[in-house]
């Protein structure tokens, strides 16, 4: 495994995916949790990097803000269709939910007909989940394909137990490239860590900027470096492991 170099907060800008990178994947995305001491470490990294820190996720920024509270951070959500350029700034949607209304209707009917599928509505993106039912992958793909049909201007992406559709023209890589043109990111060497096929756009963007691309887990990837799992990401970030006593304190 080609392990990544250590983070240098003086010269690096750090971009992190969330699910599968900072937290383990779970059947219900709303059930995910991140330990308070891990959030505290991210806050310390953000300070050390002079603010050149952002979360780049398929989740909505509002959900990320809740999960990572009290940390305030720059972010791109829904694969870049939402953006918060500064930690205390407003969330700027780059597209409205109404454009997906026709597709939303077809997907809603589809998950009613096959209740083992689950529809997640992000407003600017729609996701069909089939986690726990891998045999439904072709059903999920066919449903999204049928919903989109030949409508122009939409992008369909396949990820870990999901099929997602949103307006075309934005992805995680373009979001990272946009951040890198602004302070405090400009002039730094970008690092991006992600685990899924949708993160390949991010890897390509940082490689184009002579940055550091880090894939979490197995599978084909354009990333130059690897970390084995979420725990490996935490160790690379310097998140201290929790002892049994510390775990009880965090849970209380």
Q: What residue ranges define each of the domains in the chain, with the CATH number in brackets?
A: 12-94+171-251 (3.40.50.1000), 97-167 (3.30.70.1020)
Residues 61-104: tens digit of each pLDDT: 999 999 999 999 999 999 898 999 999 999 998 777 778 898 99
Mean pLDDT of 156-160: 88
249 versus 97: the higher-pLDDT residue is: 97
Which phi and psi angles does 122 have, rounded to 5°?
A: -95, 5
- pLDDT score at 129: 95
- Tokens encoding 134: 């891998």
**Contacts of residue 30, Cβ cutoff 8 Å, sequence gap at least 6:** 63
Does the pLDDT of residue 40 top 70, yes or no? yes
Q: Are strands 189-194 and 12-16 parallel, antiparallel or unpaired?
A: parallel
Q: Are 4 and 225 in contact (CB under 8 A)?
A: yes
Q: Are 238 and 40 in contact (CB under 8 A)?
A: no
Counting residues of the chain whose pLDDT is more than 90, the rounded percentage is: 77
- pLDDT score at 98: 79
- pLDDT score at 248: 42
pTM over 0.85: no
- Chain-centroid distance of CA 73 in Å reads 14
Which residue among 17, 171, 195, 196 is the active-site one? 17
65 versus 250: the higher-pLDDT residue is: 65
Per-residue three-class SS string for 5-17: CCCCCCCEEEEEC
- pLDDT score at 243: 55
Q: Distance between CA atoms of 130 and 209, rounded to whole angstroms?
A: 35
Mean pLDDT of 134-148: 95
To which H or E segment does residue 226 belong?
strand 225-227
- pLDDT score at 166: 84
User: Coil, helix or strand for 154?
Assistant: strand
Phi-psi bin for 20: left (phi > 0), alpha (psi -120 to 50), beta? left
Q: Is 121 a catalytic residue?
A: no
Does the pLDDT of residue 159 top 60, yes or no? yes
- Chain-centroid distance of CA 218 in Å reads 17
Q: 12-26, 112-126, 143-157: lowest mean pLDDT where?
A: 143-157
Does the pLDDT of residue 252 top 50, yes or no? no
Q: What angle do CA 167, 71, 230 make, to 5 degrees?
A: 70
| Averaged pLDDT of the chain | 92
**Band of residue 1 on the pLDDT scale cut at 50, 70, 90:** low
Residues 209-220: tens digit of each pLDDT: 999 999 999 999
**Band of residue 29 on the pLDDT scale cut at 50, 70, 90:** confident
Q: Are 250 and 242 in contact (CB under 8 A)?
A: yes
To which H or E segment does residue 112 belong?
helix 101-113
């Amino acid at each position: 495994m080609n392990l990544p170099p250590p983070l240098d907060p003086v010269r690096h800008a750090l971009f992190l995916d969330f699910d599968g990178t900072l937290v383990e994947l779970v059947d219900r995305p709303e059930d995910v949790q991140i330990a308070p001491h891990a959030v505290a470490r991210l806050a310390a990294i953000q300070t050390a990097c002079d603010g050149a820190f952002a979360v780049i996720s398929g989740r909505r920024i509002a959900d990320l803000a809740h999960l990572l509270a009290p940390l305030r951070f720059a972010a791109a959500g829904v694969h870049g269709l939402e953006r918060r350029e500064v930690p205390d700034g407003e969330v700027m949607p780059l597209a409205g939910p109404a454009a997906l209304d026709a597709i939303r209707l077809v997907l809603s009917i589809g998950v009613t007909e096959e209740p083992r599928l689950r529809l997640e509505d992000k407003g600017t993106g729609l996701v069909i989940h089939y986690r726990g039912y891998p045999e439904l992958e072709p059903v999920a793909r066919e449903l999204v394909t049928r919903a989109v049909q030949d409508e122009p201007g939409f992008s369909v992406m396949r990820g870990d137990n999901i099929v997602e559709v949103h307006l075309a023209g934005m992805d995680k890589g373009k979001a990272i490239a946009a951040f890198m043109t602004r302070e405090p990111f400009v002039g730094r060497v970008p690092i991006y860590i992600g685990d899924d096929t949708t993160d390949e756009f991010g890897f390509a963007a940082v490689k184009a900027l002579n940055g550091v691309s880090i894939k979490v887990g197995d599978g084909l990837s354009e990333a130059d470096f690897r970390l084995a799992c979420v725990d490996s990401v935490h160790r690379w970030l310097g998140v201290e492991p929790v002892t049994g006593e510390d775990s009880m304190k965090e849970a209380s």
